[in-house]
């Protein structure tokens, strides 16, 4: 029989009770293994946490670095683009500077080209304005078509006044009230002018002589006052002038109401904040510096300084808009020019129907605008506004459609003069015209931009005011009649 040692018994999976190690060495091994495993797990967890933290830190640094790299790239791209933009701007600036220099050279060349024919014969004239050069060039060197129209008008004027005596012609000249721009001294000088062959007269002299006679006929024909000492010859001349003015249009004041509001400093002064002074007193110069009689060169006519209105009702006036737009003004829009063109059309259409819109523009460009400007009676824009008004009313347009803003009128007047000059001077006139207009701006004035609406409202308001005045006058008249009636009847006076 074999004896079994209890200390040598091994546990089985089916054994009940707690686990019992076989001996002390086994127990020691088990006891040693447990803390080592726990420590390993603990160290592994700490390491993983550290690694995670390091990775997170590295990831953050990586993200930050990525953002910095992106920012640096964007900055570099922007910097490079900025450098390109600076270079482009410098290139554009250099290009503009070069273009400006080239334009200045072109303007100087045009001035020199026009100075050959358009310079003043006065040795004291040093700084000649662009407009003066253009006006003199047009008057001295018109194209063939313009000269033919002038010669035709001279023949018609000769036929009109051929039966008039020297005294009657001198009386006609005096109708200009010393505003003669041609240098006529008496009726005899007018008669000699009409008897000459127009082809033999210098264009400057021909133009100013015709303008003077057209203006005199206009003033006499529109004057409804009859002199007590008028001779039969003067009465006959006046009837002729009245007949010549039948082609004239309604007063330009219908379209430019501020023209009727101007005042003279000889009897008035600026009394309201919406008024301003125009140019100072100026002398009408003798426009025709060719063939002018030497004894009348120093005979200037002093025109008074004018006072203009800044507003018409609640809108800015035409002349105020021109002043703010750096456009020269003298005496507001020209009504005389519109009337004189009507007389010219009557003469040229007499016994002929072949007188067109273009011929009127030719007369305006070669005759009216340069002489009015050189005589310092109206500026280019003011005269051109009168030309446009006449042409629009002549074609059947209403008074609202016959208005031209200041800068557009200025441009229109310059273009009319350019078209009447000889072909070789037209590009130079265009260059100087662009240089002039470059310094002008368009300013809204009365009736613009809502032309018909504002104009109708303004005139409606004026009509209401006038109607109120008439009704008030009628009411006062009735009260006075009632007062007189009660006074006669012995009744009590209601006013006491």
Q: What is the pLDDT of residues 298-326, one digit of tens each?
A: 444 566 778 788 887 767 888 888 888 89
Question: Residue 284 is inside which H or E element, if any?
Answer: strand 282-284
Q: For 265-275, b where at least 16 C-beta lie within 10 A, e where not — what string?
A: eeeeeeeeeeb
- Within this chain, do residues 70 and 205 fall inside the same structural domain, yes or no? no
- Within this chain, do residues 283 and 335 fall inside the same structural domain, yes or no? yes
Q: Is residue 15 part of a domain?
A: no
Domain coverage including residue 52 = 40-93
- Within this chain, do residues 64 and 200 fall inside the same structural domain, yes or no? no
- Within this chain, do residues 259 and 377 fall inside the same structural domain, yes or no? yes
Q: Are 360 and 390 in contact (CB under 8 A)?
A: yes
- Within this chain, do residues 79 and 181 fall inside the same structural domain, yes or no? no
For strands 263-264 and 282-284, give the pairing. Answer: unpaired
Check residue 357 and give its pLDDT: 82
Counted domains in the chain: 3
Of 93, 122, 157, the last residue of a domain is 93
Check residue 308 and give its pLDDT: 82
- Within this chain, do residues 194 and 337 fall inside the same structural domain, yes or no? yes
Check residue 416 and give its pLDDT: 95
Q: Is the pLDDT of residue 85 over 60?
A: yes
- Within this chain, do residues 141 and 182 fall inside the same structural domain, yes or no? yes
Q: Is residue 14 part of a domain?
A: no
Separation in Å, CA 33 to CA 46, 104, 188, 412:
20, 103, 148, 113
CB neighbours (10 Å) of residue 279?
A: 14
Q: Which carries the bigger pLDDT value, residue 97 or residue 53? A: 97
Please state whether the predicted TM-score (pTM) of the whole model is above 0.85. Answer: no
Q: What is the pLDDT of residues 274-305, one digit of tens each?
A: 777 777 655 545 554 544 444 444 444 566 77
Q: Is residue 476 part of a domain?
A: yes
Q: Is residue 112 part of a domain?
A: no
Q: Are 334 and 347 in contact (CB under 8 A)?
A: no
- Within this chain, do residues 469 and 432 fall inside the same structural domain, yes or no? no
Q: Which carries the bigger pLDDT value, residue 41 or residue 495? A: 41
Q: What is the pLDDT of residues 191-237, one digit of tens each?
A: 999 999 999 888 988 998 899 899 889 888 887 666 656 788 888 88
- Within this chain, do residues 280 and 372 fall inside the same structural domain, yes or no? yes
Check residue 380 and give its pLDDT: 94
- Within this chain, do residues 176 and 164 fall inside the same structural domain, yes or no? yes
Residue position matching structure tokens 């035409």: 318
Q: Is residue 8 part of a domain?
A: no
Q: Are 411 and 222 in contact (CB under 8 A)?
A: no
- Confidence band for 6, pLDDT divided at 50, 70 and 90: very low
- Confidence band for 494, pLDDT divided at 50, 70 and 90: very low
Q: Is residue 305 part of a domain?
A: yes
Average the pLDDT over each of 41-45, 331-335, 470-474 and give the range with the smallest value: 41-45
- Within this chain, do residues 402 and 347 fall inside the same structural domain, yes or no? yes
- Confidence band for 269, pLDDT divided at 50, 70 and 90: low
DSSP state of 421: B
Q: What is the pLDDT of residues 140-165, one digit of tens each?
A: 999 999 999 999 999 999 999 988 88
Burial class of residue 198 in the structure, from the number of CB atoms within 10 Å of its CB (0-12 exposed, 13-18 middle, 19+ buried): buried
- Within this chain, do residues 63 and 137 fall inside the same structural domain, yes or no? no
Considering 13-17, 139-143, 250-254, the range whose residues carry the highest mean pLDDT is 139-143
Check residue 147 and give its pLDDT: 93
Check residue 78 and give its pLDDT: 64
Q: Is residue 26 part of a domain?
A: no
Of 403, 420, 447, the last residue of a domain is 447
Q: What is the average pLDDT across 399-419?
A: 90
Q: Is residue 75 part of a domain?
A: yes
**How far is CA 82 from its chain centroid?**
38
**How far is CA 52 from its chain centroid?**
77
For strands 311-312 and 301-303, give the pairing. Answer: unpaired
């Amino acid at each position: 029989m074999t004896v079994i040692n209890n200390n040598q018994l091994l546990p089985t999976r089916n054994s009940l009770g707690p686990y019992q190690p076989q001996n002390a060495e086994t127990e020691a091994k088990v006891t040693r293994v447990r803390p080592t495993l726990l420590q390993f797990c603990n160290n592994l967890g700490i390491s993983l946490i550290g690694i995670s933290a390091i990775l997170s830190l590295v990831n953050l640094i990586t993200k930050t670095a990525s953002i910095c790299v992106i920012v640096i790239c964007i900055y570099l791209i922007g910097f490079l683009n900025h450098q390109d933009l600076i270079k482009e701007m410098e290139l554009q600036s250099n290009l503009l500077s070069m273009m400006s220099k080239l334009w200045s050279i072109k303007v100087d060349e045009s001035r020199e080209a026009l100075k050959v024919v358009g310079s003043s014969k006065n040795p004291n004239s040093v700084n000649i304005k662009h407009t003066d050069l253009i006006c003199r060039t047009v008057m001295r060197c018109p194209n063939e078509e313009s000269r033919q129209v002038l010669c035709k008008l001279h023949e018609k004027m000769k036929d009109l006044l051929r039966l008039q005596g020297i005294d009657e012609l001198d009386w006609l000249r005096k109708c200009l009230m010393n505003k003669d721009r041609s240098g006529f001294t008496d009726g005899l000088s007018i008669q000699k002018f009409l008897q000459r062959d127009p082809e033999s007269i210098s264009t400057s002299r021909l133009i100013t002589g015709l303008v003077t006679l057209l203006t005199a006929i206009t003033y006499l024909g529109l004057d409804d006052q009859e002199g007590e000492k008028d001779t039969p010859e003067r009465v006959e001349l006046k009837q002729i002038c009245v007949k010549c003015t039948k082609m004239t249009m309604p007063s330009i004041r219908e379209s430019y109401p501020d023209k009727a509001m101007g005042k003279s400093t000889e009897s008035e002064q600026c009394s309201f904040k919406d008024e301003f002074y125009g140019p100072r007193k100026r002398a009408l110069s003798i426009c025709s510096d060719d063939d002018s009689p030497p004894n009348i060169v120093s005979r200037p006519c002093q025109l008074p300084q004018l006072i203009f209105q800044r507003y018409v009702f609640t809108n800015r006036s035409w002349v105020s808009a021109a002043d703010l737009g750096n456009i020269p003004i003298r005496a507001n829009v020209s009504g005389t020019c519109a009337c004189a063109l009507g007389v010219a059309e009557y003469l040229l259409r007499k016994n002929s129907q072949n007188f067109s819109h273009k011929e009127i523009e030719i007369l305006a460009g070669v005759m009216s605008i340069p002489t009015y400007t050189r005589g310092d009676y109206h500026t280019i824009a003011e005269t051109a506004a009168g030309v446009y008004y006449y042409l629009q009313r002549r074609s059947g347009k209403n008074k609202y459609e016959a208005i031209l803003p200041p800068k557009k009128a200025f441009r229109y007047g310059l273009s009319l003069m350019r078209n009447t000059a000889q072909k070789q001077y037209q590009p130079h006139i265009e260059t100087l015209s662009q240089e002039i207009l470059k310094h002008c701006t368009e300013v809204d004035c009365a009736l613009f931009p809502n032309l018909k609406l504002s104009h109708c409202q303004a005139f409606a308001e004026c009509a209401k005011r006038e109607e109120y005045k008439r009704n008030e006058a009628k009411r006062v008249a009735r009260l006075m009649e009632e007062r007189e009636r009660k006074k006669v009847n012995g009744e009590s006076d209601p006013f006491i």
